[in-house]
Structure 1
Amino acid sequence: MTAPDRQRVGALIAPLFEPLIAPLDVAEKGKVPGVLVGVLHQGQRYCYAFGQVPLQQGGSAAPEDTVVMIASNTKVFTATLLAIAVLQSRVELDTPVRELLPPGVDIHPYLMDQPVRLRHLATHSAGFPKGLCPPRDDVFGHYSFDATTRFLREFEPQYPPGQQWCYSNQGFALLGALMSHVHHDSPPSEPGWGSSYRDWQQVARRLLLEPLGMQSTQVELSPPVRARLAQSYGLRQPGQRYESIRVGEIDPQSAAIGAGALSSTVPDMLAFLARQIDHGPDVLGRAIALTQSPQEPLGLCMGLGWQVGDGCLAKDGLKLGYASYMIVDPSCRVAVFAFANAEGSDLNGAARAALGALRGCAVQWPRPTPQPKRKPQCPPDGMSAR
């Protein structure tokens, strides 16, 4: 990497991200205090910072060392675990979910001959609600398996699986637990949701994070990790200071880890995106290629975990004031990962525009067709997670 190359890329993307920034002590609707941007271009990796990105415990860190919550970007990692399991003949994309549930836990099919399959969970087409049931403020790191059991027991699907696209954290939470189970090294010895379903963190580390060299990507916020964690903010009143948001602990055995609990750094996310371009011939490389393969039309073109459009793969994440977005064009060998320390800005649009500027062709991102008129809802009765 030469300084002129870094400067040219920076000059290209700066006009796209600088308009998103407002001063930390003068909040502005639609803007954020700070943005970090990682770029993969012509085989080189660059990291840029705009505005202010202080740490949760005070002070600051270099943009490359700052830890950020990537929220629902985690779903692509869970989908990659599914692809690995398929290539290892542990499951098939069309394996019914019911076959992988523990004894005593069942799921309602729309019709007996139309079960929810793993493919449906990975493409948001299972017909599950958007949020976890019951709703929580910090959903991914504190969701019980008892709540999962109650949801599966009480939820009645409104339409057949595989027919419509409707974004679902509930579906990916279940997929994460099932992928922990199918990749577990030893047969389960406990009844119910035993340890094999609660090991997503270790499975992801063994099969994805370590092979990809993502040493600063994790679930638990240990003291060394938290010392580098970016502070996130909320906007209470325009013109006043942005309000700090506290990030609590994350239970590594939460039933929703695989839906959005990872934290990472810009360099680690660029390592992940680089492998989306150069898959490699090993099982992981072939699994990555499988996640990029478009599935059935569902109102929004999906790979496994990825949204697909105009030659690009993309995914975003929102959690406790953190916003992130990754987009990659494998054929043009260009990728962008963007992070903001508050929600509400058009971070996704700026990242797409940046990728378009870098590849020399604007990204024409498809709009999803309308979602079901009757969106899936959590079962009634005021279920409460334990």
Structure 2
Amino acid sequence: MLTLNACSQRSSIPPASLPSSTFSQNVPELTQWPTTLTPNARNASALFDKYASQIYQKSNPQGMVIVMINNDQSMNRAFGTTTPESRNAPTMNSLIRIASITKLMTSEIMLKLQDEGKLLVTDPLQKYNYYGVDIPLVSAQSPIRLYHLASHTSGFPREQPGGKWGRPVFIWPTHGDRWNWLKKATLTSPAGNSAAYSNLAYDLLADALIKASGKSYPQLLQQYVAKPAGMRDTTLTPTPAQCQRLLVGYRPSPCSDTLAAAGSGGVYSTPADMQRWMQGFLTSHNAMRKATASKEQSIYFPRNQLSSIEGMDVAGRADGVGLGWVYMAPANGIPAIYQKTGGGGGFNTYMATIPELNIGVFVVITRKPNGTKFSEVTQGTNALVRALAKDFYQ
């Protein structure tokens, strides 16, 4: 395990002095998105407006909200409608499903519990088992540890087998379902050998955090994530009033509690709350990055130290994997991006940060029945944060 820490202090280091060539690459296609946009503007506001409009046009969503933090500047834009039948545009207070960006919050809770001495990220999952279940192992020398669950290197499958197709999102498997399945489960890859995206692993991690802390998961989410960041609408159990603000996309799921997937994808939030949370990784004149930011964005497994990698290249080549965050190496003289995607219940979400330069963008879209392209969201957002970084050096 190698940990590479993100640095989110505003830097005066020239591009030639950025991280070593071991983690650097050329990405020629970055200059090709969007093909119709070659911004002449030399300021972040104009860049943001141009890219935001292009991302919306190219991705073709039902609705979209995009939020930017660029050092001391923050901006947001909304496009489309709240539902297919509505003429109202989304707002910063629209309720959204952040889907798998939930995983980043689960890792945040884990690290804060470690700081309080309630667990170690190197603890084996077996220490926090339920019902006396023995955690399946490929090798006794390679127990599944908490950081394996958080870095998708545990060997667990993406989903627990047996789920009913077409069910509402984030309500299965329940805690009991998971631990009953573990009684007879077998794995084929030893922990730490390869990376394969796993929602199941994160829900098992949430189970472990509950046991280590002696608190319910909603309590953990509020104490360690929502309250410190000032997030007023971030929850696993939305109220009827909050549900009235939920954006609606193609094949929506009911607005109900998502405790079954509390660790992997169940969090509801708003763009305003996600801006507050993203600010925790970035320093500005009136906000210091949170104490755990660098630890949360540490990279545990460079790609070249893994035998294989699966399901991690959604937003671009994963040059390293951390505790939910995906690391994309410096490219074309621009510092590394730390990013995470999410999707489910008619939503897609994406967060991309360049913590070294205090740049971050969060995007949420709702999908249409045909023609919505999440790849244009991720490619366009990556291009936007790199354009902002380039503007920083000019």
In structure 2, the residue matched to 1:17 is: 55
The alignment covers a number of residue pairs equal to 320
1:77 aligns with 2:105: yes
The answer for the alignment partner of 1:100 in structure 2 is: 128
1:349 is aligned, of 379, 382, 391, to 379
CA contact (8 A) 2:44 2:391 kept: no
* Deviation at residue 144 of structure 1 after TM alignment: 1.7
**Given the alignment of the two structures, is residue 275 of structure 1 paired with residue 280 of structure 2, yes or no?**
yes
* Structure-2 residue corresponding to 1:217: 234
- Residues 14/139 of structure 1: CA separation in 2 closer, same or farther (3 Å cut): closer
Conserved in 1, the CA contact under 8 Å of 2:280 and 2:290?
A: yes
In structure 2, runs of 5+ residues without a counterpart are 1-41, 310-317, 330-335
Q: CA deviation at 1:103?
A: 3.7
State the TM-score, normalizing by the size of structure 2: 0.75
8 Å Cα contact 1:38/1:336 also seen in 2: yes
1:288 aligns with 2:293: yes
Letter in 2 for 1:349: Q
How many Å separate the matches in 1 of 2:139 and 2:189? Answer: 9
CA distance in 1, matches of 2:211, 2:391: 43
Contact 1:77 1:208 in 2 (8 A): yes
1:56–1:96 Cα change, 3 Å: farther
Q: 1:276 to 1:75 in 2, by over 3 A?
A: same
Matched, 1:328 2:353: yes
**1:148 shift after superposition:** 0.6
SS of 1:336 mapped into structure 2:
strand
Q: Distance in 1 between matches of 2:322 and 2:296?
A: 5
Q: Which residue of 2 aligns with 1:359?
A: 389
Given that 1:110 and 1:158 are in contact with CA atoms closer than 8 Å, whether structure 2 keeps it comes out as yes
Is residue 60 of structure 1 aligned with residue 84 of structure 2?
A: no
- Which moved further from structure 2: 158-167 or 35-44? 35-44
Matches within 5 A, 1:1-386: 8-20=46-58, 31-50=60-79, 52-55=80-83, 60=88, 63-136=91-164, 137-184=167-214, 196=215, 199-233=216-250, 245-254=251-260, 256-278=261-283, 285-297=290-302, 298=306, 299=309, 300=318, 301-310=320-329, 311-342=336-367, 344-346=373-375, 347-360=377-390
RMSD of aligned alpha carbons: 2.5
Q: Say if 1:56 and 1:220 are closer, same or farther in 2 by CA, change over 3 A.
A: farther
Q: Deviations over 1:144-183 (max 9, x none)?
A: 2221112211221102110000000010011112112222
Runs of 4+ residues over 6 Å off in structure 1: none
* Secondary structure at the counterpart of residue 124 of structure 1: coil
* Aligned residues with identical type, % of pairs: 23
Aligned-residue offset at 1:83: 0.9
2:240 maps to amino acid: P
Partner amino acid, structure 1, of 2:342: G
What 5-or-longer segments of structure 1 have no aligned partner? 22-30, 185-195, 234-244, 363-386
